Structure 1
Amino acid sequence: MITRFLFILIFFPVFYFPTTIKPNNRIDLLIQLSDEESYKDYLKSFIYAKRACILAEESGTSKQKAEAYYYMARNLIFVGRYNESYSLIKKGMNEEAVKKDKFFLALYKELTSIYYSRLYMLPQEMKENKEALQLVNPHTNPESKLFVSRIYMWIADYYTETHKYDSAQIYIDRSIKLAEEIPEQQYLSFRRMFRRKAYVYFYQAQIYIKQKNTKSALQFIDKAYKQAVSEDHVYLHSILEAYGDYYFLSEEYQNAINYYKKAIQNKKAFLKMSADINLKLSYCYKAMNDPSNEKKYLTISSEQRRYNERISRINVIQIAENILKVENEKKQANRNKNILAVLLVSIVLLLIIACVLYKQRKENRKRNEIIENKNHQLQKTTDSLMEKEKTINILQQKVSELIHMVKANSPHFWSHFQIIFPDFTGKMLKLNPNLRTSELTFSAYLYLGLATKEISQYTFKSVKTIENNRYNLRKKINVPSEKDLSIWINEYIKNTETEA
């Protein structure tokens, strides 16, 4: 499983259904049962939604189909089935009920933004959140107020991920304010999928943890945990992990270990791996001068991460194909319109020519065939050039995003780099299987052509430290001193075949 994809699903909402469930309406009843299993048993929730979908597609309304698609997509995201979830999101957004209802449309845009966030496509994620925010007035009703609170929460998380903590604090303050304006009794009367107050507190705690403000962080971790327990949340690993982070920063390493292990057990109950948490455990044992356990959990983390990377590579390919398919469909639709216009004009011209130059029809026919063939060849050449230009632009954009992440010293640089260059890790590990993640990340900087001074500037390390890192890496992968290390790595990656 791709563990970084799993956490976000716990926090996002599903549909607001303002009408009362009718006992004799089996579709609505199945949707309600799917909702009741939310955050408890995702398989049951999906099965109920699937049954509702089958009935809705046979005899249900557009609204019921959209609801069923949404619940199915939400559960598929949780279990890492991103290809199927994307198709359901597109089907839902094509329903008339979604097109005609701004609130439904906003919910789908929120879901789409979460989908993009799992791909670390942050600009697209922010775009969807801003569009969702424009569709809903928080003062319309309490449900709308909670919805806007969630959007503010996602925006705060975006700014946290990009290390803009002042902006993150502004939006999380707005989120908490809206959520707490609703009386607790009324809040608890809403459907489970709407109750996200616990995770609004959690995101506030995350901001404080990133800033190493442990005292303030603990206050909001406690609030998040109490709120989640009061709402019968079962999947609590993120909050338990936050406790571990707090104790780690406080140098209470045994308490940090206890909470990290609780978080791992909680994820295990949902058949989820915990590569990042196991890595944190290795750090704890390192701080406690326990090399045996440090090595043990570092090994577990590495094995799980390698498995996650294999699954991630498959998912990313499928997701990229979906996105390209949508773009191609749009372009094909526009191309068809242009072709139709050209054909209509051509027919008119041919009729005129046929009437005026009847005696020369054979010559004209041959001439038209030549012109048509040339047009076809020209179209093929144009399409080929456009495709090449598109490929170059996409690669340049991705590399630019990576360079931007390096300059921002983003902690997500390495994971994003592996998505764009999926064969890089395997090829480098062929040189030395014992390369650490930090050394692989450093190799990626060199692969992107960054100089020693640039790496020093962006990572806030001294030039001497970077030079030592270069020396150690050169030694580990046996690169002769007379070779330029960056050029050598680029040529090696380019010329080395990927193992099947």
Structure 2
Amino acid sequence: MAKKLLSCLFSFSLIFFSYAQKVTEEKLKSIIFDIGFSTAGDREIKKIDSIISICHQNNYSDCEVFGYLKIANIYNKNNDIKKAFHYTDLIEKKNLITPDTDFEAVFYFYTIRSLLHQKLGERVAALKLLDEIADQVKENPYYEYLLDWQYAGIYTEMNENNKALKAYKKAYLNAKEYRKQRGRNTDKSKNKISNSYKTTAYLAGAYQKLGKMDSAKIYIEETLKDARTMDEIGFQYIASIYAAEYYLKAEDFKKAQQHLWICKNIAMHHYKSENYQEGVITDLINLYEKTGEKDSADYYSRQLLEIQNHNDAQNKVQKDRLDKKRLAEDGSKAMEVKTLIYLCIGLLVVLICIFMYFFYRKKGKEKEKGADPIEIPAVQDNDLFDQVIVLAKENNPEFLTRFNDYCPGFSEKLVEAAQLKSSEIRFCAYLYLNFSTKDIAAYTYTSVRTVQTKKYRLRKKLNIPNDTEIYQWFRDLLK
């Protein structure tokens, strides 16, 4: 109740202030930038919505774009991809991106859309969006470091570790150059400055992934030194999680445990999403398994299961709501389509009757001989497809049987490619139907991590190249 009251007071004060004294667009953008991203949730989203309303009233279109993108990024951080896409789509629907739009807003639009496609596993689309904006950021260290950082993340997912290291190096150097340029850009937002320091930790992680532990150590020590001088939760978390992973690999278990406890404390008390807690607890389980502390490993395994069950339950509730809404919308659209079809058929019948009337009247016959019969094309029956989708969402045992009716030959082709189990073929069917990782996790009551692991194993068994989209591979299977 207190939080709602504070949020209302904030909105009221903003609106009152905007009328009492016209707030500049730069001032409103600064307020948006300075809202803490790392710990942001529903309360912060309401604040940004209030600012967007003020921007709209004052025709501050650039500020509106920044507001929508900030909300999209918060939802992305909390793994609500649907809502994140919704807010980036609003920018397009409202035609807020024009030739006169501030380049910073355009840059964030492209990079956030790229990040969302990356999370959906659509890496080709993600890279294409970055390529479209790349030529416009040259010789600007702020934009260059952000762009290189995002390229590096995609290369890491594609297991192109040398490319990732090269991109992280460029991001690190450009971030340092950006911080040296004291002035309008760097003084604009403290969040921008703290964010630029994170590249050091990511560079350390890239070296560690390639087994270059001496180089990784240099950058881990640098990022920990920066963390001691900066009071920003998001940076503290990133510095500690990468330090913990380094010390875990270096088998300095005491330091690894120390940094994991720092991360666990931050995740529990500051972050809105349980995904941060899940990542830390997974590393703690790994630590205690390596040190032989079975009781501690078991304790965190149970805690991890509770978090995953909680996430799965929340996701299921949210998915059910979305599914009901979607079914209602689809039902309404289906009714409109049926009505239109009936009207067209009725009109066609009337026209045929009129034509036949005049035709017979002209010929003076009651029946015209030799006339070709008029064929009305049958409307495609989508009942089987609808049944397959419903059975998939219910995780029904009959799903695979009905799916094989819908896609004959699918299972046989998979068996030819590799000796897959029935459960693996069932999982492949979900991918063929283009369900996202998050959807599959929700419908099968498993975690997102488990689904990602299954995808990885399938790639190995079916010899799917790393540069090939797994969804596209299954779509091409029956061609």
For the aligned pair, the TM-score class normalised by the smaller chain equals 0.5 to 0.7
1:429-480 Cα shifts (integer Å, max 9, x gaps): xxxxxxxx99x999x69x9799xxx59x99xxxxxxxxxxxxxxxxxxxxxx
1:185-225 Cα shifts (integer Å, max 9, x gaps): 42633434544322222221221222333222222233334
Cα distance in 2 for partners of 1:154, 1:314 equals: 32
Cα deviation for residue 264 of structure 1 reads: 0.6
Letter in 1 for 2:63: Q
- The corresponding residue for 1:92 is 91
Q: What is the aligned-residue identity percentage? A: 12
Cα deviation for residue 258 of structure 1 reads: 1.0
- The corresponding residue for 2:117 is 116
Cα deviation for residue 166 of structure 1 reads: 1.6
- From 249, 269, 292, give the equivalent of 1:289: 292
Following superposition of structure 1 onto structure 2, how do residues 458-497 of structure 1 map, counting pairs within 5 Å? none
Distance 1:175 1:230, change over 3 A: same
- From 173, 182, 202, give the equivalent of 2:178: 182
Following superposition of structure 1 onto structure 2, how do residues 20-39 of structure 1 map, counting pairs within 5 Å? 24-25=22-23, 29-39=27-37
Native 8 Å contact 2:32 2:66 kept in 1: no
- The corresponding residue for 1:60 is 59
Native 8 Å contact 2:315 2:442 kept in 1: no
1:161 has 2:157 as partner: yes
- Residue 53 of structure 2 aligns to a residue whose secondary structure is helix
Distance 1:417 1:385, change over 3 A: closer
1:300 has 2:299 as partner: no
- Residue 42 of structure 1 aligns to a residue whose secondary structure is coil
- The corresponding residue for 2:133 is 135
Native 8 Å contact 2:312 2:445 kept in 1: no
- The corresponding residue for 1:204 is 203
Distance 1:125 1:314, change over 3 A: farther
Distance 1:356 1:140, change over 3 A: farther
After TM superposition, the score normalised by the length of structure 1 is 0.60
Cα deviation for residue 299 of structure 1 reads: 1.7
Structure 2 spans left out of the alignment, 5+ residues: 1-20, 368-372, 390-402, 425-430, 465-479
1:21-65 Cα shifts (integer Å, max 9, x gaps): xx7226654442232223365256433311112233445343332
Structure 1 spans left out of the alignment, 5+ residues: 1-22, 365-369, 407-412, 427-436, 459-500
Distance 1:68 1:289, change over 3 A: closer
Cα deviation for residue 265 of structure 1 reads: 0.4
Cα deviation for residue 256 of structure 1 reads: 0.8
Cα deviation for residue 90 of structure 1 reads: 0.7
Native 8 Å contact 1:240 1:262 kept in 2: yes
Higher RCO structure (Cα 8 Å, ≥6 apart): 1
Native 8 Å contact 1:27 1:56 kept in 2: yes
Native 8 Å contact 2:72 2:85 kept in 1: yes
Cα RMSD over matched residues?
A: 5.0
Distance 1:188 1:95, change over 3 A: same
Distance 1:258 1:227, change over 3 A: closer
Following superposition of structure 1 onto structure 2, how do residues 330-369 of structure 1 map, counting pairs within 5 Å? 359=361
Native 8 Å contact 1:45 1:75 kept in 2: no
- Residue 98 of structure 1 aligns to a residue whose secondary structure is coil
Letter in 1 for 2:67: A
Cα distance in 2 for partners of 1:441, 1:182 equals: 36
Letter in 1 for 2:48: A
Distance 1:180 1:448, change over 3 A: closer
- The corresponding residue for 1:151 is 147
Cα distance in 1 for partners of 2:213, 2:239 equals: 14
1:120-161 Cα shifts (integer Å, max 9, x gaps): x23x2442343233234355663xx42232222122112212
- Residue 287 of structure 2 aligns to a residue whose secondary structure is helix
Distance 1:300 1:388, change over 3 A: closer
Native 8 Å contact 1:113 1:126 kept in 2: no
Native 8 Å contact 2:28 2:51 kept in 1: yes
Distance 1:269 1:322, change over 3 A: same
Letter in 1 for 2:87: L
Cα distance in 1 for partners of 2:388, 2:286 equals: 45
Cα distance in 1 for partners of 2:326, 2:126 equals: 15
- The corresponding residue for 2:269 is 269
- The corresponding residue for 1:420 is 440
Cα distance in 1 for partners of 2:124, 2:220 equals: 26
- Residue 198 of structure 1 aligns to a residue whose secondary structure is helix
Number of residue equivalences: 378
Distance 1:322 1:162, change over 3 A: farther
- Residue 96 of structure 2 aligns to a residue whose secondary structure is helix
Cα distance in 1 for partners of 2:325, 2:114 equals: 15
1:75 has 2:95 as partner: no
Cα distance in 1 for partners of 2:441, 2:30 equals: 43
Letter in 2 for 1:33: I
Distance 1:175 1:311, change over 3 A: same
Native 8 Å contact 1:56 1:64 kept in 2: yes
Cα distance in 2 for partners of 1:147, 1:322 equals: 39
Distance 1:252 1:55, change over 3 A: same
Native 8 Å contact 1:133 1:151 kept in 2: no
1:237 has 2:233 as partner: no
Cα deviation for residue 423 of structure 1 reads: 5.2
Cα distance in 2 for partners of 1:249, 1:308 equals: 29
Letter in 1 for 2:75: L
Native 8 Å contact 2:312 2:441 kept in 1: no
Cα distance in 1 for partners of 2:221, 2:94 equals: 41
Letter in 2 for 1:241: I
1:64-102 Cα shifts (integer Å, max 9, x gaps): 322222222223333454443322111013333314348
Native 8 Å contact 2:227 2:239 kept in 1: no
